[in-house]
Homo-oligomer: A and B are copies of this chain.
Amino acid sequence: MVNVGIAGASGYTGLELIRLLVKHPEVRVSALTSETYQGQRVADVFPALAGHIDLDFVRLDSSLTKDCDIVFLALPHTTAMNHVPGFLKDNCRVVDLSADFRLKSAEVFETWYSVAHSQQDILGQAVYGLPELHREQITAAKLVANPGCYPTGVILALAPLMTTDWVDLGSIVADCKSGVSGAGRKPALNTQFAECNEVVSAYGLGTHRHTPEIEQEISTLAGRELRVTFSPHLMPMTRGLLSTIYLNLVRDLTLDELDKYYREIYKNEPFVRILNPGVFANTHFVVHSNYCDIGLQIDARNRRIILTSAIDNLVKGAAGQAVQNMNLMLGIDETTGLDSPGIFP
């Protein structure tokens, strides 16, 4: 049995990690930290977990490495990074769910997060934890930077096209729609029920911090600097993330060709499903599961490809992908603890 810890376990990604890990057959949840609830029983704070976990929340300190072989960091951006060196020094593997190690360039990080990166010496060790792109490096990694929810859905949809000459790579627009749980569990006015219920709103158009993460990965694939227009929107629902992505075609292409190509690319991926031609991605197909569904459409009148992708922002967009990364890092079958269908309705 592998001992795992979660730092910041009382937020939504932390909770989702607990839910997945208590049913994972090859690990034992050994330590859960929470600033807010330290000293309280986990099952008292979250009665949904009663009968499934028998721990108290503890403070985040160095003792965690004694208890754990691997640690998930579900801490705020810019603070997570300061905890990583300690864990690595004690030979404890780390899956960091914050943004701190996702960007390879400390300079780009500083530009978008307005703070200097405090761990530039270990930045190079971090592997971007999207298994569909970086499976081998993840398997060997000590430190995995778990992707953001938006980048996961957008990159998986875009990746196959980045190595073709079918599209104008300067034309990418990603219009994304996320459930509110993506904003985290900390009380804030804009995520109060009566503020975001029955409301659709755009935010961070052209300026959201997930932009450089998408650009880094698709640029690597394309072999040149790419930029995207990325537009996040807040949806009146708890979970689910739909991305609608537009690219201009530079040659004729049939839906059938596109479909065949995507199926070939992703044929061995356990968590990527290409939807039947004419079916668009729909969050209800994927919520509560680790799948990323991809729908394909060609707008022939306008010579554009319209991609849709759907994930559960807390599973494939966060905790599920983190477990997938853990499985790879530990040499466990990649789908262990994750192979459930979505739940509908």
Enumerate chain A interface residues (CB-CB to B < 8 A). Answer: 12, 15, 19, 22-23, 44, 46-52, 171, 173, 175, 177, 179-181, 185, 187-189, 191-203, 205-206, 227-229, 231, 233, 235-240, 242, 244, 246, 273, 275-276, 279-289, 291, 293, 295, 297-302, 304, 306, 308, 339-345
Q: How far is the CB of A288 from chain B (nearest CB, A)?
A: 6
Known contacts A48-B289, A49-B341; 13 further A-B pairs (Cβ under 8 A): A15-B345, A22-B341, A23-B340, A47-B276, A175-B231, A193-B193, A195-B284, A200-B282, A202-B282, A205-B280, A227-B301, A238-B345, A288-B343
**17 A-B residue pairs with CB within 8 Å:** A12-B345, A19-B341, A23-B341, A47-B275, A47-B293, A48-B341, A48-B344, A173-B173, A173-B246, A175-B246, A179-B194, A199-B237, A201-B242, A202-B308, A205-B299, A229-B299, A236-B237
How many Å from the CB of A232 to the closest CB on chain B? 10
Residues of B with C-beta under 8 A to A231: 175, 244, 306
Q: How far is the CB of A212 from chain B (nearest CB, A)?
A: 10
Contact B344 A46 (CB under 8 A): yes
User: A280 → chain B, closest Cβ, in Å?
Assistant: 4
CB neighbours (8 Å) of A308 from chain B are: 202, 205
Residue pair A44, B276 in contact (C-beta under 8 Å): yes
CA gap between A240 and B48 in the complex, in Å = 13
Contacts of A301 in B (CB 8 A): 206, 227
Query: Once the chains bind, are A191 and B193 in contact (CB under 8 Å)?
Result: yes
Is A235 in contact with B238, judged by CB distance below 8 angstroms? no
Given A205-B308, A280-B202, verify A193-B238 contact (CB < 8 Å).
yes
Nearest-CB residue, chain B, relative to A187: B187
Given the contacts A236-B235, A237-B236, A244-B202, A343 and B193 also touching, CB distance less than 8 Å: no
Using Cβ atoms and an 8 Å threshold, which residues of chain B touch A187? 187-189, 192
Q: In the complex, which of the residues A171, A233, A304 has the most CB atoms of chain B within 10 Å of its own CB atom?
A: A233
A195 and chain B: residue at smallest CB distance: B345
| CB neighbours of A288 from chain B (8 A) | 288, 343
Alpha-carbon gap, A280 to B304, bound state (A): 26
Q: Please give, as numbers and ranges, the residues of chain B lying within 8 Å of A244 by CB-CB distance.
A: 175, 202, 205, 231, 233
- The one of B49, B246, B345 that contacts A181, using a Cβ cutoff of 8 Å: B345
**When chains A and B are docked, how far (Å) is the Cα of A300 from the Cα of B300?**
28
Residues in B whose Cβ lies below 8 Å from that of A44: 276
A177: chain B residues within 8 A (beta carbon):
177, 200, 233
How far, in whole Å, are A280 and B273 apart by their CA atoms in the complex?
34
Given contacts A187-B192, A192-B191, A231-B244, whether A198 and B237 have CB atoms under 8 Å apart is: yes
Residue among A276, A298, A343 with the most chain B CB within 10 A? A343
Whether A229 lies near B284 (C-beta < 8 A) is no
